[in-house]
Amino acid sequence: MIEFSKKLQQLPQQFFAALVNKVNEALAEGRDVINLGQGNPDQPTPAHIVEALQIAANDPQTHKYSPFRGIAELKQAAADFYKREYNVDIDPATEVAVLGGTKIGLVELPLGLLNPGDYMLLPDPGYPDYLSGVALADVKFDTMPLQEENHFLPDYEALSADIKQRAKLIYLNYPNNPTGGVATHEFFEQTVQFAKENNIAVAHDFAYGAIGFDGERPPSFLQAPGAKEVGIELYTLSKSYNMAGWRIGFAVGNAKMIEAINIIQDHLFCSQFPAIQHAAAVALNEEQFCVDELRVLYERRRNVLVEEAHKIGWEITAPKGSFFAWLPVPAPYTSELFADYLLERADIAVAAGNGFGEYGEGYIRVGLLVDEERLREAMQRVAKLGLFEETVLK
């Protein structure tokens, strides 16, 4: 009889897979579901990137194995991108790891830096797949509450001495999924100091780095003095360039941490299809007009969501970055009950906040990944449920 290994049985339930199943069941019944629960960009990949892939795919040289650690063109493009966009110097030979999507790097890193039983620090609420790396590496974790009164930033001073002493790796993610919070340069400087004082490695998940609102550009962790001494940053092309299905990204920063990722990947992968890597280099190297247009699109959608929510009396805070909004749940509902209620009674799919951690309870996550009219319609459907007292905007 075939049985799953203990390691496989220890893996957490895939939160987003369960959400997709609920939505698909509703769609199969013929219901008009407005899906605000997904994190999948709804716009196409820019034409010049697609064209670059087409040209590269026609070159027989790209049909061969990629170099194990990725093509030099992409690693140089990543270094040039960080110098141009953030004025951060990156050595393409030793400080870049090519990834088949940054989720891979985030799951691999505990395997490369920690031993079974070691501790890492995770944000709560946070991206659920961070826990996959915890389970696969057989490590333990403590959490850092992200609360609105602290702008969804962890309070290092509030962490106990025991937690600081035993942590060997910390994950951060700004602009933040799911809260939409954005870090400051000062916070990243504090993070570097905290990491040095406690001998903790830092991994900053910069998935939404290009998406900041109200004229504010989200900073890179690596801009903080001394950041490369303690950590790395992981950058995906999924969000900035609508390349989610392409599965391409990279990690940059501390050479020892980059080498840990590369060694693991030497044994797991033979890098990505070279044509995709070439197209990714084009995306990073060319003019960034498409990124600017995408940011404007998400900000316009954010403004519509906030305005329409306020009209019906739902007091929500406008996110400062990412393409998510973090909405408080009305009493007496829990996050999960309210998410189920919206799907059952209004055909609106959202992600329950408790799926992102203990401190996600009391919220739902809404994606700005449908057009403005569908966002307006979603709020109109919520209004009909009579959960909020409608107000008139001045």
Q: Which residues of the chain have pLDDT under 50?
A: 394
Same-domain pairing of 41 and 57:
no
Instruction: Answer for the pair 235, 78: CB distance below 8 angstroms, yes or no.
Output: yes
Peptide bond into 92 cis (omega under 30): no
Same-domain pairing of 225 and 355:
no
Residue 346 is predicted with a pLDDT of 97
Of 232, 260, 285, the position where a domain reaches its end is 285
Residue 391 is predicted with a pLDDT of 63
Same-domain pairing of 126 and 263:
yes
Tell whether 354 is covered by a domain: yes
Tell whether 254 is covered by a domain: yes
Same-domain pairing of 314 and 231:
no
Same-domain pairing of 23 and 165:
no
Radius of gyration of the chain (CA): 21
Residue 15 is predicted with a pLDDT of 74
Same-domain pairing of 279 and 357:
no
Tell whether 393 is covered by a domain: no
Give the DSSP letter string of 173-197: ESS-TTT-----HHHHHHHHHHHHH
Structural domain span for residue 309:
6-45+289-384
Report the CATH number that the domain containing residue 14 is assigned in CATH: 3.90.1150.10
Same-domain pairing of 199 and 166:
yes
Of 268, 285, 302, the position where a domain reaches its end is 285
Same-domain pairing of 279 and 293:
no
Burial label for 72, CB within 10 Å (0-12, 13-18, 19+), is middle
Same-domain pairing of 259 and 330:
no
Same-domain pairing of 41 and 69:
no
pTM, rounded to two decimals: 0.96
Measured in whole angstroms, the distance separating CA 364 from the mean position of its chain's CA atoms is 16
Same-domain pairing of 180 and 321:
no
Report d(CA 270, CA 19) in Å as an integer.
32
Q: Pairing mode, if any, of strands 231-236 and 249-253? A: antiparallel
What total number of domains does the chain contain?
A: 2
Closest CA to 322 of 212, 191, 157, 202: 212
Report the CATH number that the domain containing residue 218 is assigned in CATH: 3.40.640.10
Tell whether 195 is covered by a domain: yes
Residue 394 is predicted with a pLDDT of 44
Same-domain pairing of 94 and 240:
yes
Of 240, 258, 285, the position where a domain reaches its end is 285
Report d(CA 175, CA 217) in Å as an integer.
10
